[in-house]
Amino acid sequence: MAPSPQSGRPHLTPFIMLSCEHAGNRVPEPWTEAFAGAEADLNSHRGYDEGVLPVALRFASDLGAPLLLSTVSRLVVEPNRSLDNPGLLSEYTRGLHEDDKREILAAHYTPLRSRAIQLVDLAAAAGLTTLHISIHSFTPVFEGARRSVEVGVLFDPARRAEREIGERWIEAIRDRTGLDTRANEPYEGVADGHTTALRRCFASWLYLGLELEVRSDLLADAERAETLAGVLCGALKEAMDPSAGPTPS
């Protein structure tokens, strides 16, 4: 039975949906010419979320959850931005012909966004709340300043169920890892992004959107990244069902 509008609380066993919007730095063949000389940008955090793919794959495996994955560089199109956001296209694609831009959106933006909406609709029809985890990494240094936060869990504080799960997840991560884990850092949970867009589509008793942000230096080694992902995923399970208590990590 789905939670009522009055309670605003998630179903005990929600439908979990994962997304990784910046899993790769691929440039599709029709537009490779526009990226001539852009190798440094493509291979940096501007091009993709470094180290995040093993994390997303481990979450999908451990949770048995669908994973919406984009391996096209965000410099081609930014799937974590709205259509009216100036950052949707980069300096490499902003000047392309309008037909090219429409083709990029149709092939590498709309399918991921539409599939997410479809999955939430299907879950709602089955009487389930969707818990969406959008998985990202962030750079250790931003604008010359070293970031001390190591893991961030982003959510909308005004949505009670999101806030409760997010805060429990943060505590569980701290307990299991000792990492500096914070709410709505290094970014605001209500900034323009995939979860924010889906909140506009669905009421809080149908959709809960959290973003996981892991500092990319913790993910530099793929094996270590996968191991850390297993611990983070175990912490999420604890946060979803706090009555079960900690499980071995």
Per-position pLDDT tens, the chain of length 249: 344 443 444 445 799 999 999 999 999 999 999 999 999 999 999 999 999 999 999 999 999 999 999 999 999 999 999 999 999 999 999 999 999 999 999 999 999 999 999 999 999 999 999 999 999 999 999 988 999 999 999 999 999 999 999 999 999 999 999 999 999 999 999 999 999 999 999 999 999 999 999 999 999 999 999 999 999 999 999 999 866 454 433
* Nearest-angstrom CA–CA distance, 3 and 232: 26
Contact 159, 208 (CB under 8 A): yes
**Domains of the chain and any CATH numbers:** 15-242 (3.40.630.40)
155 and 217 Cβ atoms separated by less than 8 Å? no
Amino acid at 39: E
Q: What is the dihedral of CA 213, 215, 219, 225, to 10 degrees?
A: -40
pTM above 0.85, yes or no: yes
d(CA 28, CA 136): 22
Tell which residue, 114, 191, 214, 202, has the closest CA to residue 161: 202
CB 9 within 8 A of CB 125: no
